Amino acid sequence: MPIVNFEQYQKMLNRAKEGQFAYPAINITTTDTLNAAIEGFAKAKSDGIIQVSTGGGAHASGNLKDMVLGSIILAEQAHRIAAKYDINIALHTDHCQTDKINSFMVPLIEETTRRRKAGLPNLFNSHMYDGSAVSMEENLKHSVELLKLCTENDIILEVEAGVVGGEEDGVNAEHVGKEKLYTTPEDMLKVYEALSQVKGGRYMFAATFGNVHGVYKPGNVVLKPTILKEGQDAVVAKYGKEASFWLVFHGGSGSSVAEIHETLEYGVVKMNIDTDTQYAFTRPVVDHMFVNYDKVLKVEGEVGVKGLYDPRAWLKAARTGMANRIVEACETLKSAGKTVKL
């Protein structure tokens, strides 16, 4: 199916919330990781979300290091590849910090505006603004302005209040005070009150409940999923059931299945997955190189084995490894087998 449109994306998110499941949101950086993501969703018979970060976009453009160009390239391929599969895919950009609003998110929205005028579908379905490094007041000011711009273009905005700890894509929050890792009910009310002023605006909310980017051994990350329930309850009590958020789970590596399932009960509809799929992509490559050491290298005057040092050989293994990890994610998040024609 083609990449979903605005109405279909909302249906996806509403289905997940009502059914208490979530879509894996897979970060991609290359055409191979993109194909792995779609292949994994297709194998799981799950709809899903594919996303590009500023660093992922920069990587995709090669030595140009142009995060906008690289993101456009990956999105264009996703539109073409997804159309060949019988699942629903949404495209998203991840973690745009405040200092990159005008150099990353706005140019991509402008590209969608250009496409819409030409009768083409949106380039991306949603964008994330990460205002966690600035004050709540400044965060919400930018969020409101970006939501207005997104709404004009039938785009869903993702916002964040609080800080996801750890390090991802060059952004380090390892030394942030622990109190900032937990979004309060008051914060959640402020987010709703600010963004609900934008008529027709649709948004997802990455509230923080102890999440940490990166990978850690079990027990090293202290999650408090009940924070999500407390925040949702506060908003619903004051503004009604329709005010309940589409929530997003960042920094989930190392979380127990029980913790993940608990978040689904509180409205999580999207869970970002990057660290685990990076490892799943790289591990088969390492195996291939170790097992075939004397064949992928021209050792002691030998010629090696072309079929084994051909990048297609080990990239296929990498793609399969990543796709299998995505199937596991779909099963954990309960989206497996639930694709429907929207």
| Cβ neighbour number for residue 172 with a 10 Å cutoff | 12
User: Which secondary-structure segment (H or E) carries 279?
Assistant: helix 275-291
To the query of whether residue 99 is one of the catalytic residues in this protein, the response is: no
What pairing do the DSSP bridges indicate for beta strands 246-249 and 268-273?
parallel
What pairing do the DSSP bridges indicate for beta strands 48-53 and 89-97?
parallel
How many whole angstroms separate alpha carbon 32 and alpha carbon 28? Answer: 8
How many whole angstroms separate alpha carbon 40 and alpha carbon 44? Answer: 6
CB 212, CB 167: distance < 8 Å: no
Q: What is the largest CA-CA distance in the chain?
A: 76
Q: What is the total residue count of the chain?
A: 342
How many whole angstroms separate alpha carbon 143 and alpha carbon 98? Answer: 10
Buried b (16+ CB within 10 A) or exposed e, 71-88: bbbbbebbbebbeeeebb
How many whole angstroms separate alpha carbon 320 and alpha carbon 328? Answer: 13
Selecting among 94, 130, 274, 276, the annotated active-site residue is: 94
How many whole angstroms separate alpha carbon 219 and alpha carbon 338? Answer: 32
How many whole angstroms separate alpha carbon 79 and alpha carbon 83? Answer: 6
Distances (CA, A) of 123 to 75, 104, 105, 147, 238: 7, 14, 12, 17, 36
Residues with catalytic roles? 94
